[in-house]
Amino acid sequence: MTPQASQQHPSPPLVSGPSVARQRCINPGCGASFAITDTLTACPSCAALLDIVYDWTASGARAATTLPPGTPAWMRWTFASLPAKTRADTSGVWKFRRLMPFYDDEKNIVTIGEGKTILQNADLLARHLGFEPGTLHLQYEGQNPSGSFKDNGMTAAFTHAKMVGATVCACASTGNTSAAMAIYASQCGIKPVIFIGQGKIAYGKLSQALDYGALTLQVAGDFDACLAKVRYIAENIPRAGVYLMNSVNPFRLEGQKAVMYRVLEGLCWQVPDWIVVPGGNLGNCSAFGKAFAELLDLGMIDRVPRLAVINAAGSSTLDRIYNGLGVRWNGGKYFSDGGKAKVDAEYARMYAHNERASTIATAIEINRPVNLAKALRALEIMKGDANEGIVRSVGDETIKHYKAAVGKFGFGCEPASAASVAGAHMLRQEGLIKPGQTVACILTGHILKDPDVTVSYHTGLDAKASKQPLPTERPPGQYANPPVPVADDLGEILRAMGVDTTGLDLSGAAKATGKVAKEY
Ligand code: F0G
């Protein structure tokens, strides 16, 4: 940027907070909107998910990004950057705060230096897999403070939690959400409570939750059961005072948009042809879709990448719904054109057959992805040069194979993350990814998150089978923080959380949080 240019286009001030940001129901047929100071996990009118929406004109972002036609994207970005550098600029999320101005005061931003991750050029891996040099990139989110991409979302959600005065936070997790939530909670003085399915979490992640001092409830159920319980408590039991940190929290997804900003930054704001991401609860891909819709709206980019969401074959609900049942977002008509009804029927079928998710990639071992509707929307937004995004599934052996390949060429990741590279290679072999197209795979979690899978792959040792059951006596260490086993029962869970259940009517809870969990 030349000095003359900056004088002609001084960067406008940034306005943030309730005057420029609102929460809005994603169902266009509803469209209800709420103040950002409300704590909500779903639309109170129609139970659909919520978005954070902005008045980009009032926030200054539109003026900051509007430059004459033909201005290169990188120059738009330069103009959009902020007038002065502050502490928030040390975060790889908040340096993009002009694109997420919901916080009330910059001084109240909760950050632990997340998002200092870069887009890595993976030329050796590319050559090995038959991609052209310079076309395969890995966005290495395992380098975040808690070792996964979740920190991008937690910094935003905790900033909101502080805004609304939360004192207890909770999440259901396959491991990384809990690790990220626990580190932020313990740094900013909010009590963390974690719900994990018994035997469903990699030890690297469990060790983080315990060390960061979270109350860790090992529920005798799977992730879907845990999420139904914690969501019910957050929504219906005010005396528990729980602020929910799962990705139904729309503020979390605001932070996760930054993963895409950094991919663009790594490519000097040249839009890649493909973004390939593992899909579990589908928060990440949902955030990516929103990021690109907003960048287009602001004129900062003039094309979008094509999205490929990769499921594990043992946990492939999105694949079945998208490819098998042909359900689409359809401009939001999903809620009324029979799409959502098909999803509900599929969930009922899964329940009737007692179908459970099962994959070595425990991070994405999820049957009922809560962000399904937003993910369908992202697949419509991120269509690249085609009509829509793509969904594929990869099996456990394939995941292990590509995980080892990622490690061999110097990056390393946990099993779920390798699904992105496996998926990209599959799409290249199918001819959907064309020679020379630029691909960014998201490596969502660090290699050390799940050492059992790595050791077992390289040695043949079944590390999981050789583990002893947890001892029942309390360990002697002064700070010992053992997990608390609980039945898959709301009353027992609440008592383990220290909530007095005397006189509490839990009769309606069984239906809402049991196997036939309420769908959102
Ligand atoms: N990769 C890793 C390493 C994850 O931990 C997760 C999700 C995903 C991919 C999938 O992302 O849910 O946004 O589609 N882990 C969650 C958890 C569910 O509880 O840690 P998603």
The string of pLDDT tens digits covering residues 111-166 is 999 999 999 999 999 999 999 999 999 999 999 999 999 999 999 999 999 999 99
Gap from CA of 80 to ligand 1 centroid (Å): 31
Q: Could you tell me which residues come within 8 angstroms of residue 155 by beta carbon, excluding any fewer than 6 positions away?
A: 91, 93, 94, 109, 110, 111, 112, 114, 115, 184, 255
Stretch among 66-70, 155-159, 309-313, 428-432 having the lowest mean pLDDT: 66-70
Residue 55 has pLDDT above 90, yes or no: yes
CB-ligand 1 contact for 311 (6 Å cutoff): no
- Tell which atom from ligand 1 comes closest to the C-alpha of 173: 19
- Tell which atom from ligand 1 comes closest to the C-alpha of 281: 12
pLDDT band at 215 (very low <50, low <70, confident <90, very high): very high
Residue 517 has pLDDT above 60, yes or no: no
Gap from CA of 256 to ligand 1 centroid (Å): 12
| pLDDT per position as a tens digit, 465-481 | 666 667 778 888 777 88
Which pLDDT does position 312 carry in this prediction?
98
CB-ligand 1 contact for 144 (6 Å cutoff): no
Task: Tell me the C-alpha distance between 508 and 217, whole Å.
Answer: 22
Q: How far is CA 304 from the centre of its chain?
A: 20
Q: Which residue has the higher pLDDT, 341 or 14?
A: 341
CB-ligand 1 contact for 359 (6 Å cutoff): no
CA angle 162, 168, 174 (to 5 degrees): 105
Which pLDDT does position 83 carry in this prediction?
67
Q: What are phi and psi of 122, to 5 degrees?
A: -105, 65
Which pLDDT does position 466 carry in this prediction?
60
Q: What are phi and psi of 515, to 5 degrees?
A: -65, -30
What does the block give as tokens for 188? 């900013």
Best residue among 244, 309, 372, 444 to mutate for probing ligand 1's pocket (most ligand atoms within 8 Å of CB) is 444
Sign (positive or negative) of CA dihedral 420, 295, 19, 372: negative
Task: Tell me the C-alpha distance between 370 and 177, whole Å.
Answer: 14
Residue 305 has pLDDT above 80, yes or no: yes
pLDDT band at 411 (very low <50, low <70, confident <90, very high): very high
CB-ligand 1 contact for 224 (6 Å cutoff): no
If you take atom 6 of ligand 1, which residue's CA is the nearest one?
A: 363
Q: Are 397 and 309 in contact (CB under 8 A)?
A: no
If you take atom 11 of ligand 1, which residue's CA is the nearest one?
A: 280
Q: Could you tell me which residues come within 8 angstroms of residue 2 by beta carbon, excluding any fewer than 6 positions away?
A: none
CB-ligand 1 contact for 142 (6 Å cutoff): no
Residue 459 has pLDDT above 90, yes or no: no
Question: If you average pLDDT over residues 431-446, what whole number do you get?
Answer: 98
Question: If you average pLDDT over residues 242-246, what whole number do you get?
Answer: 98
What does the block give as tokens for 270? 């040249």
Bridge pairing between strands 484-486 and 33-35: unpaired
Task: Tell me the C-alpha distance between 282 and 49, whole Å.
Answer: 12
Gap from CA of 364 to ligand 1 centroid (Å): 6
- Tell which atom from ligand 1 comes closest to the C-alpha of 279: 14
Q: What are phi and psi of 171, to 5 degrees?
A: -155, 155
Average pLDDT for the chain: 92
Q: At residue 361, what is the residue type? A: A
CB-ligand 1 contact for 246 (6 Å cutoff): no
Residue 254 has pLDDT above 60, yes or no: yes
Question: If you average pLDDT over residues 331-350, what whole number do you get?
Answer: 97
Gap from CA of 363 to ligand 1 centroid (Å): 5
Sign (positive or negative) of CA dihedral 351, 363, 310, 275: positive
Gap from CA of 146 to ligand 1 centroid (Å): 13
| pLDDT per position as a tens digit, 272-287 | 999 999 999 999 999 9
Question: If you average pLDDT over residues 333-340, what whole number do you get?
Answer: 98
Which pLDDT does position 463 carry in this prediction?
67
> Of the candidates 135, 202, 209, 207, which has an alpha carbon nearest to the alpha carbon of residue 178?
209
Residue 77 has pLDDT above 80, yes or no: no
Q: Are 222 and 367 in contact (CB under 8 A)?
A: yes
CA angle 116, 120, 124 (to 5 degrees): 155
pLDDT band at 519 (very low <50, low <70, confident <90, very high): very low
Element (H, E) at 357: none
What does the block give as tokens for 320? 């079945």
pTM above 0.75, yes or no: yes
Which pLDDT does position 184 carry in this prediction?
98
Question: If you average pLDDT over residues 423-445, what whole number do you get?
Answer: 98
Which pLDDT does position 69 carry in this prediction?
72
> Of the candidates 319, 283, 251, 266, which has an alpha carbon nearest to the alpha carbon of residue 173?
283
Stretch among 173-182, 213-222, 440-449, 469-478 having the lowest mean pLDDT: 469-478
Gap from CA of 173 to ligand 1 centroid (Å): 8
Residue 4 has pLDDT above 50, yes or no: no
Residue 319 has pLDDT above 90, yes or no: yes
Question: If you average pLDDT over residues 26-36, what whole number do you get?
Answer: 97
Stretch among 102-106, 195-199, 358-362 having the lowest mean pLDDT: 195-199
CB-ligand 1 contact for 12 (6 Å cutoff): no
Best residue among 260, 281, 309, 443 to mutate for probing ligand 1's pocket (most ligand atoms within 8 Å of CB) is 281
